[in-house]
Amino acid sequence: MNEMEVRQRRPIRPQVVTDEATEQNVKDRSSTYSGKVFMVTFLILALLVLLPLLAAIFVLKCPIEPQQLSFQEPPLLSGILEPNLKLRQAERLFEGQLVGPESIAVFGDVVYTGTADGQILKIEDGKIHTVARLGRPPCGTRELEPTCGRPLGIRVGPNGTLFVADCYLGIFEVNPVTGDAQMLVYPGNPIQGRKLSFVNDLTVTQDGKKIYFTDSSSKWQRRDYSYLVMEGTDDGRLLEYDTVTKEVKVLLDGLRFPNGVQLSPAEDFVLVAETTMARIRRYYVSGLRKGGADMFLENMPGFPDNIRPSSSGGYWVAMSAVRQNPGFSMVDFLSQRLWLRELIFKLLSQETVMKLVPKYSMVLELSDDGIYMRSFHDPNGEVVTYVSEALEHDGNLYLGSYRSPFICRLKLQDV
């Protein structure tokens, strides 16, 4: 062994194993084992959740067949449409004493409305009285609604009788004194090959000879209205009933959720809210343009429900769902995403889906040619919830609702 080799060799020092080192090794091995256990547990739990979910996606049948919808960018909520709190100045009337006063009619000092339990009510001298019941009890559940009946649109005719649209039972004329109800249109009779599945709103000429009404869908009933909106079904119609000849004819077809209707003051055209498409269409019933139709107002800031006349010669339009801009609109977002609409209704109930829609009540006043004049808001629906109609009478705006347990009254001089 030469001198160079000796120099290059270094002494091998013995490794000292201490208690601290042993403990650290045990901790490292324990930590690695715990991490592996956690990952395995997590993966098992994820599979337990995902496998049934994937099975549901591929096995469950979707109740709707979504159609492609096309929207413009919603109008900015600015200027006349600027959000405000004016609807919160309304007062709630008869809270807890009635449910779902969808539409309202006033004759003298008496208020009439139809409710979710199938009744037509009269409110006089601060008291509620039952005028009539078009269906038969029991009521109160989704399954019982078709036999219980559900009065929606209500109007006072020229002779003081009430004209009522029941979404399941048809069109009726009701004597508000005796409660006698005469059926005018039976929904089971096919009209141009299709039965009426969702009779919604109506408007009556001053002489009482013509009734214009909407059938929101031939496929879906009122209890499935969220399916109607999310599917984008275009089988709704505007119809005319002649009280003299007893004939019913179709004026407009191919509408997506036709809802509220209103005759013009001159009775030369009828406005019809096309709820799913956030617009109002116009159909001419007299004059040189009779039989023609055009767009009265489109790309609205929300989804219109009932339309009623204003004292200015224009119209009040109620909306319980708003296309917020800036903000988010669920219907706009889902309009081009058919697969996502299918997935939602495979996994969620109608009630759950509707809870995802933000509460926001808005009432618009339009001019006679469809220009925005005023807007009243209640963001988050703190006072006025699920608004369906705004009826002006004697300086007040009576606000109906399709599900709230009260009527609201707003004094117009306060806003």
pLDDT digits (tens, 9 = 90+) for 253-265: 999 999 999 999 9
Assign 89 to helix, strand or coil.
helix
Q: What angle do CA 122, 125, 126 make, to 5 degrees?
A: 80
User: Is 331:353 a contact under the CB 8 Å cutoff?
Assistant: no
- Per-residue pLDDT, 6: 44
pLDDT given at position 45: 73
Residue 233 phi, psi dihedral angles, 5° rounding? -60, 135
How crowded is the C-beta side of 226, counted as CA atoms within 13 Å?
A: 17
pLDDT digits 0-9 by tens, 19-41: 555 555 545 555 565 666 667 77
Two tokens at 231? 């599917």
Question: CB atoms < 10 A from the CB of 308, how many?
Answer: 24
pTM of the model as a whole = 0.87
pLDDT tens-digit map of 209-263 = 999 999 999 999 999 999 999 999 999 999 999 999 999 999 999 999 999 999 9
82, 201, 217, 218 from 365: Cα distances, Å: 14, 19, 27, 31
Picking from 138, 141, 137, 134, the residue whose alpha carbon sits closest to that of residue 120 is 134
What per-residue confidence (pLDDT) applies to 60?
A: 84
pLDDT in tens, 89-112: 999 999 999 999 999 999 999 999
